[in-house]
Amino acid sequence: MDPIIKVENLGKRYRLGVINRGMLYKDIQSWWARKRGKEDPHSPIRVAQTGGDTSGQEFWAFRNVDFEVKPGEILGVIGRNGAGKSTLLKVLSQITAPTEGHFKLKGRVASLLEVGTGFHGELTGRENIYLNGAILGMSRSEVRSCFDEIVEFAEIGQFVDTPVKRYSSGMYVRLAFSVAAHLQPDILIVDEVLAVGDAAFQKKCLGRMDEAAFKEGRTILFVSHNMASVRSLCTRALLLSGGQLEADGPTGEIVDCYLDKGVLPPSTANQEDSDAARLKITAIHYQTVDGGRTVEVFIGQPIDIVIEYENKNVLPHEEISVGIGLHGPSADLFNNYSHFSGKLFSRIPDKGAFVFRWPSVDLLPGHYLLAVRVVVRKGLNDEEVLAKPSSISLIVAPADFHKEGSGDGLKFGLIAVRGEWKMLPGGKS
Amino acid sequence: MPITETAENPEWDRVVTAKSGLLDLNLAELWRYRDLIYLFVKRDFVAIYKQTILGPLWFLIQPILSTLVFTIIFGNIAKLPTDNIPPFLFYLCGLVAWSYFSDCLTKSAATFSGNAGIFSKVYFPRLTVPIANALTNLITFAIQFGLFLAVLAYFTWKGAPIETSWRVVILPLLLLQMAMLGIGFGCIVSSLTTRYRDLAMLLSFFVQLWMYASCVLFPLSLYPKEWHWLLVLNPMVPVIESFRFAFLGAGTVEVYQLVSGAIVSLVVFVVGIIVFRHVEKTFSDTI
């Protein structure tokens, strides 16, 4: 099939620092000087002397990106914060122009970079549906034809003629997504919007997107940090890293590739460690109890968290405590320092690893963040932080936690708890 | 956004490239979004008077109060001539026309800064916003114009020396010219304010100065005739004078003034749209 989106050599550059010289006449002087091939009278002296680039520091949000998308594909775009995902989507949805290269599209494009853009608080739900539809490129008659569906999907029922400023935030988000989901674009660009709303509604949205792609043949570009939704929704994925297209292929492979790379903590990935870090965390990864590396952790199973380090300047007599903290999508879950169980490490070798054995990962499937801290305890409430804060994502995959065959029932709350039920005969208790 | 329509690229509906031509106006796309313009007009009009007690009455109170102030200061205290027209009517006439223009200008000038949030999240032709503004202002104008007609009728009935002539048919053209000038100039200011915020502060001051230079408060006949050519470089002078001449029968209008006013407005409009189109491509990077 012919591609519906074709991106060739696309790049977007930002200038860092000064956007203008503060005053219009200085800008004009600079421009005039450049025009005549003279030295910019307002350029920083350092730059002028070295004869370097007078346009200031530059930064490519992404560059040399090439890919094609076929109709009906759901393409996930993944990568770290700052990898250029959101900028790529901004360029593709024409919010900002590319600096180099070009892309071609067929059919109508709607982008959903944030739900509820263009909603006006004073207007009623009904008025906002029309307005939002028009902003996203629908005509009034198109909105009219699916108006009832939109209201039904959003579950706002009798509130349709109430100004949206009186809506609860949940209703607001549901209405906004519902309008977007009922758009009939050929290409839908979605950025992280599913991070909002309750779990049931998120599920409904994913279902709706799935349906749009498979039944109605829409093409969807989906940026998310939630690997679980990328995995369940996308047929193909792009991995961006430092503004470069690093990998392009089936979702499963690409997500694994991303998680493998996720081993390096972001804060130490590309900058020299400051003097403050006396211990450098070089990698964090997961191992199954039999020692094999893994990127996915299954609910209810044991796992080893391996924290590799380099000792920069920890003295042999110092006693250190290593801790992990786990953050969920809506709450902090727990922390566990080695000193909790009375373990303090001393005589740290130059290189090595700390390992935390987690006997059973009793967390609902989803996306979590695991943070690592290393401290020297100096008193009851006094500690010195030795390593820069490092973190890694933890993806808990579904498994048959309750051993009942289907893995069903793991939908409520944050944690999974095993237990036993029985029935007592009536009478005495 | 530089978009080439299907004609040049039969295979693709949209091609977005880094390079763009100067005249990439893409009016066809604007036409496709006409429903959006309509809804913007509706939104702005409805939202203005929601949760106010007097509602659309505010559109009438504003010009009445300003006209009263002008009548007292310029008519009764400074005793500036008004071409023999009753001062209240004279000032109201100038103000109603002027405020249509100044509303178009100030609202268009706020296009980028006022819509930064939505512009950085979703694409639609940005020109819909100033166009919708000009249309919303037209509703305001209609209400104020109704007030003016009522006052005009009252003074005519009282026997004031007023000659309303067939020349009133020029009104739509005057409105078009004011809209073009307001949008064009507003677009230039709006594009520049994405980089230089100071201009937003200067604008209201500048608009006020412009009003004094536009014969809103005193007739062109106040100035010596040999200087008229210089004054009508300001395209608003012939507009205001023609407006008064058509409805009140007093004013100094010559054909060359109308032509020069129209040409200047057209040039400002075209330049404004080109600059606006150019800035909208990368505006979300600088705001």
List chain B residues with CB under 8 Å of A113.
Answer: 121-122
Interface with chain B: mutation pick from A8, A13, A94, A142, highest number of B CBs within 10 Å = A94
Give the distance from CA A261 to its chain's centroid.
15
Domain range for B267 is 24-285
Above 80 in pLDDT, residue A350?
Answer: yes
Confidence (pLDDT) at A289: 86
What is A5-261's CATH number?
3.40.50.300
Task: Identify how many contiguous H helices and E strands chain B contains and give both numbers.
Answer: 13, 2
Contacts 24+ apart (CB under 8 A), B21-29: B22/B274, B23/B274, B24/B277, B25/B273, B25/B274, B25/B277, B26/B125, B29/B3, B29/B5, B29/B125
List chain A residues with CB under 8 Å of B122.
Answer: 93, 95, 111-113, 117-118, 135-136
Show the tokens assigned to B163.
Answer: 């000659």
Non-local CB neighbours of B279 within 8 Å, separated by 6+ positions: B112, B190, B191, B194
Averaged pLDDT for residues A226-246: 82
Binned at pLDDT 50, 70 and 90, residue A89 comes out as confident
Task: Identify how many contiguous H helices and E strands chain A contains and give both numbers.
Answer: 11, 19
pLDDT (tens digit per residue) in A48-60:
434 444 445 678 8
- Classify strands A187-191 and A219-223 as parallel, antiparallel or unpaired: parallel
Helix (H) or strand (E) holding B21: none
Answer with the residue of higher pLDDT: B239 or A426.
Answer: B239
Above 50 in pLDDT, residue B190?
Answer: yes
CA distance A312 to chain B (A): 41
Please tell me the least confidently modeled range out of A18-27, A350-359, B30-39, B83-92. Answer: A18-27
Above 60 in pLDDT, residue B155?
Answer: yes
Give the CATH superfamily of A270-397: abc- transporter (atp binding component) like domain (2.70.50.60)
User: Measured over all CA atoms, what is the biggest interatomic distance in chain A, rounded to whole angstroms?
Assistant: 101
Q: What is the four-CA torsion angle of A156, A162, A164, A165, rounded to 10 degrees?
A: -130
Confidence (pLDDT) at A263: 41
Question: Is the CB of B122 less than 8 angstroms away from the CB of A127?
Answer: no
Above 60 in pLDDT, residue B102?
Answer: yes
Nearest Cα to A60, choosing from B285, B287, B19? Answer: B285
Helix (H) or strand (E) holding A101: strand A100-105
Q: Where are the domains of chain A?
A: 5-261, 270-397
Above 90 in pLDDT, residue B146?
Answer: yes
Non-local CB neighbours of A413 within 8 Å, separated by 6+ positions: A364
* ipTM of the prediction: 0.79
In a domain, B91, yes or no: yes
Confidence (pLDDT) at A269: 37
Average pLDDT score, chain A: 78
Residue type, A312: K
Q: What angle do CA A399, A400, A401 make, to 5 degrees?
A: 95
Nearest Cα to A69, choosing from A92, A90, A37? Answer: A92
Confidence (pLDDT) at B176: 94
- The DSSP line for A350-384 is SEEEEEEEES---B-SEEEEEEEEEEEE-SSS-EE
Question: Is the CB of A105 less than 8 angstroms away from the CB of B16?
Answer: yes
* Nearest beta carbon to residue B195 from set A19, A95, A102: A19
CB neighbour class for A12 (10 Å; exposed up to 12, middle 13-18, buried from 19):
buried
* Nearest beta carbon to residue B46 from set A105, A123, A134: A123
Task: Measure the CA–CA gap between A273 and A279, rounded to whole angstroms.
Answer: 10
Contact between A218 and A188 (Cβ < 8 Å): yes
Q: E strands within A203-350? A: 219-223, 236-241, 244-250, 279-287, 293-294, 296-298, 303-311, 320-327, 332-337
Question: Is the CB of B281 less than 8 angstroms away from the CB of A103?
Answer: no
Which chain B residue is nearest to residue A3, measuring alpha carbons? B12
Q: How far is CA A270 from CA A85, A247, A291, in A?
A: 19, 20, 29
In a domain, B11, yes or no: no
Answer with the residue of higher pLDDT: B129 or A383.
Answer: B129
CB neighbour class for B231 (10 Å; exposed up to 12, middle 13-18, buried from 19):
middle
Bridge partner list, A13: A60
Which position has the token pair 């020297």?
A: A376
Nearest Cα to A307, choosing from A355, A357, A250? Answer: A355
Q: How far is CA A324 from CA A80, A370, A390, in A?
A: 21, 7, 10
* Nearest beta carbon to residue B123 from set A93, A107, A123: A93
Of A174-178, A330-334, B266-270, the range with the highest mean pLDDT is B266-270
Using a CB–CB cutoff of 8 Å, tell me whether A71 touches chain B: no
Which chain B residue is nearest to residue A98, measuring alpha carbons? B18
Which position has the token pair 């929704």?
A: A233
Confidence (pLDDT) at B24: 64
Using a CB–CB cutoff of 8 Å, tell me whether A166 touches chain B: no
CA distance A192 to chain B (A): 13
- The DSSP line for B132-183 is HHHHHHHHHHHHHHHHHHHHHHHHHHTT-S----GGGGGHHHHHHHHHHHHH
Above 80 in pLDDT, residue B90?
Answer: yes
Question: Is the CB of A97 less than 8 angstroms away from the CB of B20?
Answer: yes
* Nearest beta carbon to residue B17 from set A102, A118, A130: A102
CA distance B39 to chain A (A): 6
CA distance A385 to chain B (A): 38
Confidence (pLDDT) at B20: 65
List chain A residues with CB under 8 Å of B40.
Answer: 131
CA distance B73 to chain A (A): 37
Binned at pLDDT 50, 70 and 90, residue A267 comes out as very low
Q: What's the structural domain count of chain B?
A: 1
pLDDT (tens digit per residue) in A279-288:
888 888 888 8
In a domain, B14, yes or no: no
Average pLDDT score, chain B: 85
Answer with the residue of higher pLDDT: A91 or B51.
Answer: A91
Bridge partner list, A303: A358
Confidence (pLDDT) at A43: 56
